[in-house]
Amino acid sequence: MILTLLDIPDMMGVLKGVVMEVVDCALPLVQEIIPTTDPAVAFKDIDAAFLVGAMPRKPGMERKDLLSTNVKIFKLQGEALNEHAKKTAKIVVVGNPANTNTMICAKYAPSIPRENFTAMTRLDQNRAQAQIASRLNVVADKVKNVISWGNHSATLYPDVANGTVTMGKDKPTSIEAAINNNEWLSTEFVQKVQKRGAEVIAARKLSSAMSAAKAASDQMHDIWYGTKPGEYISLGVISDGSYGMPKDIVFSFPVTIKNKQWNIVKNLNVSAFAQEKLALSAKELEDERDEALAICAKM
């Protein structure tokens, strides 16, 4: 693996420290590390990209408050990817507002298939899975097929309706039956996951780092190696109109992945309550899209 690390000139000293840390990890797969300020060097013939360079939000902000500053970065990175990256490159967008940044990045990289761009909504899925696991006193990997729908924002909808949990030596059972408290599932649980990013910022005075890095690597891992049989994951992808959602926004859907291609899982049971939440998130994404396109048109 060759790691190219792109940053702005003012951050080169810090990047040097990051390079030292990667070296000191003695990672068996890393052959070379190339720190650079030049997108042409950073994106040259790459197979995969994690786009993390964006202004992080501060306490009291919503992620969409970053749109006017960050969307410009993703237009420029889309253009650079378009020119320099392999057409097979897989791009995971982490910088916020991640869904809309992904839409813009893909738009300005028309030579790369749109399907190759995904927004990191895996962090919301991991958070939802962890909350269920902790409520049921099991480890997180006993909880399967929990989905985060929609935007990576306070309108996301964590959904357990089709999920299962394995307790002790028992066979997997439905999460709803195991929790046996629909009131908690539709209120406290949903709000906890929706506001977890803000909760982390309030505690750390910095936005999430370790959990975001883990989610980004989980997402790229599954894009690369596929999902496990019988399991699906949440992925922010360009909507094809599935589940009645508008097209051409980047929306988190349940997907399976095989041979590096994702497919939206169809015909899952979506309650009227859930459908209402999905529509709210879709409306927010349409508003973000319109604002982002207007900003990019002025650049």
Contacts of 277 (CB under 8 A, 6+ apart): 149, 150, 155, 157, 190
- 152 in catalytic set: yes
Tokens standing for residue 169: 């030596």
Q: Which of 6, 54, 57, 236 is close enough to bind ligand LMR by CB under 6 A? A: 57
Alpha carbon distance 37, 173 (integer Å):
51
Please tell me the number of Cα atoms within 13 Å of 289 on its side-chain side. 20
67 makes contact with ligand LMR (CB under 6 A): no
How far apart CA 233 and CA 146 sit, in angstroms, is 8
Q: Does 200 bind ligand LMR (CB under 6 A)?
A: yes
Taking the least distance from each CB to ligand LMR, the nearer of 3 and 213 is 213
Is the Cβ of residue 29 or residue 210 nearer to ligand LMR in the bound state? 210
Residue-by-residue DSSP string for 197-248 = HHHHHHHHSS---HHHHHHHHHHHHHHHH-PPTT--EEEEEE--SGGGPPTT
Asked if residue 62 binds ligand LMR (CB under 6 A), the reply is no
How far apart are CB 171 and ligand LMR at their closest, in Å? 34
The site string for ligand LMR over 7-46 (x = CB under 6 A, - otherwise) reads ----------------------------------------
Toward ligand LMR, which CB reaches closer, 165 or 212? 212
For the chain, give the longest Cα–Cα distance: 60
118-157 footprint of ligand LMR as x/- string (CB under 6 A): -----x----------------------------------
124 sits in which H/E element: helix 122-136
Nearest distance from residue 297's CB to ligand LMR, in Å? 26
CB 180, CB 151: distance < 8 Å: no
The answer to the question of residue 254 lying near ligand LMR (CB under 6 A) is: no
Q: Which residue is nearest to ligand LMR (CB)?
A: 197
Residue 35 or 197 having the CB closest to ligand LMR: 197
Q: Which 3 state secondary structure label does DSSP give 59?
A: coil
96 contacts ligand LMR (rule: CB under 6 A):
yes
Residue 124 CA to residue 119 CA, distance in Å, equals: 11
Catalytic residue numbers? 152
Binding residues vs ligand LMR (CB under 6 A): 57, 63, 96, 123, 197, 200, 207-208, 212
